[in-house]
Homo-oligomer: A and B are copies of this chain.
Amino acid sequence: MIKVAVLGATGYTGVELIRLLHGHPEAEILFLSSESHAGTRFSDVHPQFRGCVEQKLDRLQIELIPEWVDVVFCALPHGQSMTVVPALLGRGFKVIDLSADFRLKQPSLYREWYDLDHPFAELLSTAVYGLPEINRDEIKNAELIANPGCYPTSILLALAPLLVESLVDLKTIIIDAKSGVSGAGRSPKQAFHFPECTENFKAYRVAGHQHIPEIEQELGRLAGEKLRVTFTPHLVPMVRGILSTIYLELHQVTQEDVYSCYHRFYTGQPFVRVIEPPDLPETRLVRGSNYCDLAVRLDKRTDRVIVIAAIDNLVKGASGQAVQNMNILFSIPEITGLGQPAYL
């Protein structure tokens, strides 16, 4: 059994992680922390876990984590993981960090996009960006895995096949992304108050979302050169799901070429499904599952390519991917505990 600790257990990614770990046949939860609810039981805060996970929530004191823990998941807010990860590594734990704190390689980007000075910038180069479909080999031996962001996961999986085969005109990438509300976290705010959030659709942080540097860094790595993208996130009145619609121009290929490029790239990848025409991805078809569904269309009238990717932001976009990374790290079958299809 893999012995795990979860820091920041009561936020949505923490809760989803515990849901998945609870159903994972090889994982055992030994330690849960929550600053706001320390002293109560996990099921007091999230009563759906009554009878399932009734463990006590501890304060986030690293010395309280039992030494026989194998891996620590950090589901803490951005800016907090930074401060605790070095001590976790110091105690010899493997760390899978679900925040953005170790995803960017250039420390200056934290200042620019997150308004933070990174206190342990030297760790940024050793952290492995935990997107298994791209970096599986590095993940196997990582000490610290930076689990990708939800939007970046959908975008990187959508574009990787075309980028590694150098088919894309890199100046043309435009990403129009849409997310369910759970992506905004668990704290009540006016914009997520039911009467003002349901039956509403809007864009937000147009051309300024903090996932942009992560997207550009990782797309650039795949392309082998720097690039810039236009990225517009939108809020959909639903709990779960991201759908990214991506526009780009290619160096002269046909729809068939494009599909075979995707098939080549994703053959054998258990969690990426390339959807054949005329079908298209829908967020409900991946809800609660670790799948990423992809489709590609050539708009012959304008010679543009449209790639569409759907994931569940809390699963493949966060906690499911974290479990997938854990499975790789501990050399158990990658789909262990992640086999469930979407629910209605």
Q: Which residues of B contact A329 (CB under 8 A)?
A: none
Q: Is A23 an interface residue (CB 8 A)?
A: yes
Count of chain copies: 4
Of the candidates B178, B195, B243, B285, the one whose C-beta lies within 8 Å of that of A344 is B195
A289 at interface, CB cutoff 8 A: yes
A26 contacts B by Cβ under 8 Å: no
Known contacts A306-B230, A343-B343; A238/B200 CB under 8 A: yes
Residue of B whose beta carbon sits closest to that of A298 = B207
The reply to whether B239 and A195 contact each other, CB–CB distance below 8 Å, is: yes
Say yes or no for A286: interface residue by CB 8 A criterion. Answer: yes
User: Contact string, A296-332, partner B, CB cutoff 8 A, digits 1/0?
Assistant: 0111111010101010001000000000000000000
Q: Is the CB of A193 within 8 A of B186?
A: yes
Do A199 and B202 touch (CB < 8 A)?
no
List CB contacts (< 8 Å) of A1-32 with chain B.
Answer: 12, 15-16, 19, 22-23
Is A203 part of the contact surface with B, judged by Cβ < 8 Å?
yes
How far, in whole Å, are A273 and B195 apart by their CA atoms in the complex?
23
| Contact indicator A304/B195 (Cβ below 8 Å) | no
Residues of B within 8 A of A64 (CB): none
When chains A and B are docked, how far (Å) is the Cα of A89 from the Cα of B53? 41
Stretch from A98-106, A149-157, A217-225, A276-284 that touches the partner: A276-284
Instruction: Judge whether A230 and B299 touch: CB under 8 Å.
Output: yes
Contact residues in B for A291 (Cβ distance below 8 Å):
51
**A45 to chain B: closest CB distance in Å?**
10
Least Cβ–Cβ distance between A27 and chain B, in angstroms:
13
Contact B200 A284 (CB under 8 A): yes
- From 112 to 161 in chain A, residues with beta carbon under 8 angstroms from any chain B beta carbon are none
Interface centre among A47, A178, A198, A270 (most CB of B within 10 A): A47
Q: A19 — which chain B residues lie within 8 A by C-beta?
A: 340-341, 343
Q: How far is the CB of A187 from chain B (nearest CB, A)?
A: 8
Question: Known contacts A195-B182, A237-B237; is A341 also within 8 Å of B201 by CB?
Answer: no
Cα distance, A200 to B47, chains bound together (Å): 14
Q: How far, in whole Å, are A282 and B202 apart by their CA atoms in the complex?
A: 5
Q: In the bound complex, what is the Cα–Cα distance between A187 and B189 (angstroms)? A: 8
Closest chain-B Cβ to A227's Cβ sits at a distance in Å of 10
- Is A33 among interface residues, defined by CB-CB distance under 8 A? no
A238 touches B280 (CB 8 A): no
A138 to chain B, nearest CB (A): 25
**The residue from B234, B285, B300 contacting A245, defined by CB atoms under 8 A apart:** B234
List residues of A whose CB falls within 8 A of some B CB.
12, 15-16, 19, 22-23, 47-53, 174, 176, 178, 180-182, 186-190, 192-204, 206-207, 212, 228-230, 232, 234, 236-241, 243, 245, 247, 270, 273, 275, 279-289, 291, 293, 297-302, 304, 306, 308, 310, 314, 339-344
A-B contacts, 24 listed (Cβ < 8 Å):
A12-B344, A47-B279, A50-B285, A52-B341, A174-B247, A176-B176, A176-B247, A180-B201, A186-B193, A194-B194, A198-B199, A198-B238, A199-B238, A201-B238, A201-B243, A201-B282, A203-B281, A230-B299, A230-B304, A232-B306, A236-B237, A237-B238, A239-B344, A240-B344
The 7 tightest CB contacts between A and B, nearest first, are A48-B342, A207-B299, A188-B188, A200-B284, A202-B282, A176-B176, A194-B197
